[in-house]
Amino acid sequence: MAGFTIQGVSKVFPGPPPTQALQGINLTIGEGEFVTFLGPSGCGKSTLLEIMAGLQQPTEGVVRLGGEEVREPSEKVGVVFQDPSLFPWRTVIRNVELGLELRGVPKEERRAVAREYLAMVGLAGVETKYPHQLSGGMRQRVGIARALATSPEVLLMDEPFGAVDHLTRLQLQHDLLDIWMRHRRTIVFVTHDVSEAVYLADRVVLFSPSPGRVRRVWNVDVPRPRARDDLALVNLQNEIYAEITSLTAERDARLVEGAHA
Ligand SMILES: Nc1ncnc2c1ncn2[C@@H]1O[C@H](COP(=O)(O)OP(=O)(O)OP(=O)(O)O)[C@@H](O)[C@H]1O
């Protein structure tokens, strides 16, 4: 397993006009740690996650995974996006075994692994169905099983539960924690939802926008399994809401200043 070291990472998207998506990000994520990235829209959470996945290059700075510089996508990293992007013409099990198939793993072996991960995400019995026959929550579980099937050391998740209904989302959070507690892979999870960020994480990183910077980091020192109404979690949520309110007020004040300049 491996952790990340993010040193002086900035990202400018060329224009016109150029957009400074990230500026001076320094962050260390420990091996086996569960970290959530939180922040208002446009503060660079997805951009940083994509740089960590090797899908984008930083303009400045470096990201290391287990000491090695991340320059391109690697087998060590599994990625789950909001849209699981399953292939509609492949059955559920053939979607899950895709990564193993691309690596040339023999059919019997990859099928057994895919079956195991489908069972792990609570989907035993739907192997031969097609994606359109599943609910949104089930499709997202297939996406998670597919990411896990290649045994990555790290799971990077970008709003993976953003498109499912509230009750399904709570269940998926519970199941993800269950998987994490059994396998202790490093997980970095992007969300807009303060309660989700706090419930899941060992540490919550709040970003501020224009340009994206780390605003504040909180340790969530609450043992698992956690009750969602645990007083310490609720107090932490309130503290984070207050910080988001103040960063939004600061941004609005800057906009007004800019308009009067
Ligand atoms: N490919 C791109 N080209 C140009 N600008 C981009 C590109 N990708 C992102 N940006 C800009 O970079 C900034 C950060 O975007 P990013 O998607 O990383 O933010 P985010 O915090 O993940 O937002 P959201 O929560 O809405 O998904 C935004 O201003 C966005 O418009």
Q: What's the CA-to-centroid distance between 194 and ligand 1, angstroms?
A: 20
pLDDT in tens, 13-46: 997 889 999 999 999 999 999 999 999 988 999 9
Q: Assess contact for 250 and 234: CB atoms under 8 A.
A: no
Give the count of alpha carbons within 13 A of 255, CB side only: 8
Q: Assess contact for 188 and 154: CB atoms under 8 A.
A: yes
- From the CB of residue 7, how many other CB atoms can be counted at a distance below 10 Å? 15
241 CB within 6 A, ligand 1: no
pLDDT at 239: 97
Q: Residue 160 — very low, low, confident or very high, per pLDDT cuts 50/70/90?
A: confident
pLDDT in tens, 229-252: 999 999 999 999 999 999 888 888
How far apart (Å, rounded) are the C-alpha atoms in residues 35 and 220? 10
210 CB within 6 A, ligand 1: no
52 CB within 6 A, ligand 1: no
How far apart (Å, rounded) are the C-alpha atoms in residues 66 and 59? 21
Q: Assess contact for 185 and 152: CB atoms under 8 A.
A: yes
pLDDT of 1 strictly over 70: no
59 CB within 6 A, ligand 1: no
How far apart (Å, rounded) are the C-alpha atoms in residues 137 and 240? 28
Q: What's the CA-to-centroid distance between 183 and ligand 1, angstroms?
A: 31
Contacts of 228 (CB under 8 A, 6+ apart): 170, 195, 199
How far apart (Å, rounded) are the C-alpha atoms in residues 231 and 237? 10
Contacts of 19 (CB under 8 A, 6+ apart): 12, 13
87 CB within 6 A, ligand 1: no
Report the predicted TM-score, pTM, of the whole model to 2 decimal places. 0.92
User: Looking at residues 170-178, what average pLDDT do you find?
Assistant: 89
How far apart (Å, rounded) are the C-alpha atoms in residues 126 and 156? 25
23 CB within 6 A, ligand 1: no
191 CB within 6 A, ligand 1: no
CA angle at 224 for the pair 218 and 230, rounded to the nearest 5° = 70
Residue 44 φ then ψ, to 5°: 95, 10
User: Looking at residues 49-54, what average pLDDT do you find?
Assistant: 96
11 CB within 6 A, ligand 1: no
Nearest CA to ligand 1 atom 1: 13
Query: Which residue of 9, 11, 12, 13 sits with most ligand 1 atoms within 8 Å of its CB, as the best mutation to test the pocket?
Result: 13
How far apart (Å, rounded) are the C-alpha atoms in residues 152 and 13? 29
pLDDT at 183: 83
Q: Assess contact for 209 and 192: CB atoms under 8 A.
A: no
Q: What's the CA-to-centroid distance between 106 and ligand 1, angstroms?
A: 39
3-state secondary structure of 128: coil
pLDDT of 137 strictly over 80: yes
Strands 186-191 and 34-38, how do they pair? parallel
Q: What's the CA-to-centroid distance between 115 and ligand 1, angstroms?
A: 36
How far apart (Å, rounded) are the C-alpha atoms in residues 85 and 163? 13
pLDDT at 167: 87
Query: Which residue of 11, 37, 38, 43 sits with most ligand 1 atoms within 8 Å of its CB, as the best mutation to test the pocket?
Result: 43
Q: Assess contact for 148 and 142: CB atoms under 8 A.
A: no
How far apart (Å, rounded) are the C-alpha atoms in residues 96 and 144? 9
